Amino acid sequence: MTRFFPYPFLSAFLLGMWLLLNQSLSPGHVLLGCIVGIAGSLAISTLQIPTGRVHRPLAMLRLAFIVLFDIIRSNIAVTRIILSPSRTAQSGFLSVNLDLRNEYALAILACMLTSTPGTVWVNFDSRKGVLLLHVLDLVDEQTWIDLIKTRYERLLMEIFE
Amino acid sequence: MSAHAILEWSVAVAELALVLAMACAAFRMLRGPRAQDRVLALDAFYVAGMTLILTFGIETGDDVYFEAALVIALMGFVATAALSKFLMRGEPIE
Amino acid sequence: MTIPSDLPAWVAILTSVLVLLGAGLTLIGVIGLLRLKTFYARVHAPTLGTTLGIGCVLLASMLYFSAVESRPVLHEILIAIFVTITTPISLMLLVSAALRRDWTEGDPSVPRPPDLPSGDETP
């Protein structure tokens, strides 16, 4: 099994992508999609990327809803900053000490923080475990640190570690 | 005013807003002041163009626009990533 | 514009709202690109267009085409997945490139990039 499906999620994703692109569920397209999925994951397996394990899929779903909610909330906040005529946002860099070490969890955290308007992931020092962020509305540093530590990091550690 | 007329008008207004957004991004791209500002503006320009093409798709009811938007998404990402790598060390591929 | 006459009114209204919202958010994001003062502040502005802006337009397109062709049209999800994966990557690359450029030029307002090899010039 693992010989043909080194990365089962990637194969399933490629099959789904193929079916969505062709907008059909006919047996021919399912067969072609399976071939694309297996060939794609075999091609990727030559790179020997370490596989990750999701311990709690339901917590992953909860994380997705939290991120969606936060994206909507910070869209409103950033819109307010841009459109207010007088207010000049106090933006600045912020360092956070992270306890998270799993590479997949860090990658997901990076994508989450950068796609949320108002925060951009700048760099992560993996030796010291210090994350460098840029925040548009840096009024209270501690609020942002608490947000990342309690809202995201704890959940990601539950899922991946 | 019927619901269909509202849809026609709002698609037209949305297209106007997106063209304006592309113009603003192009202005920032020409003005700079630094290379990273221009690359950022190019990225925003791509995204606004992709959104504009998707609204064209709704206006004409044609599926071809979806594929054009997908190609723009791919090209925009590759262009921004290559330009950023170039700004970082002067080499797009290491 | 050719709208089928049997299109339900609620689909038309919801599509209009979503299209206007998406285009408006994209425009606001690009206005932020013009109005904000420093590069690092400007980085935050276009993410409005790449998250909810494109998301609303994609939802509108899915809704409209599903109603017109009376079958679920879901291939816009591909653009959504692609944009959510690629935008953070390009922004992170751009910001770290800008940080490195500013640091090597001796701008004192930026922190030292952690991946800079030691022995490089300092501001």
| Domain ranges for chain C | 9-104
3-class SS of residue C93: helix
Same domain as A74, residue A137: yes
Is A75 in contact with C25 (Cβ distance < 8 A)? yes
Same domain as A96, residue A32: no
SS (H, E, C) chain A: CCCCCCCHHHHHHHHHHHHHHHCCCCHHHHHHHHHHHHHHHHHHHCCCCCCCCCCCHHHHHHHHHHHHHHHHHHHHHHHHHHHCCCCCCCCEEEEEECCCCCHHHHHHHHHHHHHCCCEEEEEEECCCCEEEEEECCCCCHHHHHHHHHHHHHHHHHHHHC
Same domain as A40, residue A80: no
Same domain as A38, residue A112: no
Q: Could you read off the pLDDT of A63-114 as tens digits, one per residue?
A: 889 989 999 998 998 888 888 877 666 788 888 888 878 888 888 888 888 8
What is the residue extent of each domain of chain B? 3-89
Host domain of residue A128: 57-160
Same domain as A27, residue A61: no
Q: Rounded to 5 degrees, what are φ and ψ at B56?
A: -60, -40
Residue A140, pLDDT > 60, answer: yes
Stretch 18-57 of chain C: residues touching chain B, C-beta under 8 Å: 19-20, 22-24, 26-27, 29-31, 33-34, 39, 42-43, 45-46, 49-50, 53-54, 57
Same domain as A138, residue A67: yes
Same domain as A32, residue A75: no
Same domain as A16, residue A78: no
Total domains in chain A come to 2
Q: Could you read off the pLDDT of B21-68 as tens digits, one per residue?
A: 999 999 999 987 888 899 999 999 999 999 999 999 988 888 889 889
Number of Cβ atoms within 10 Å of the Cβ of A90: 12
CA distance A82 to chain C (A): 5
Same domain as A72, residue A36: no
Question: Higher model confidence: residue C25 or residue A4?
Answer: C25
Tell whether B55 lies on the interface with C, counting CB pairs under 8 A.
yes
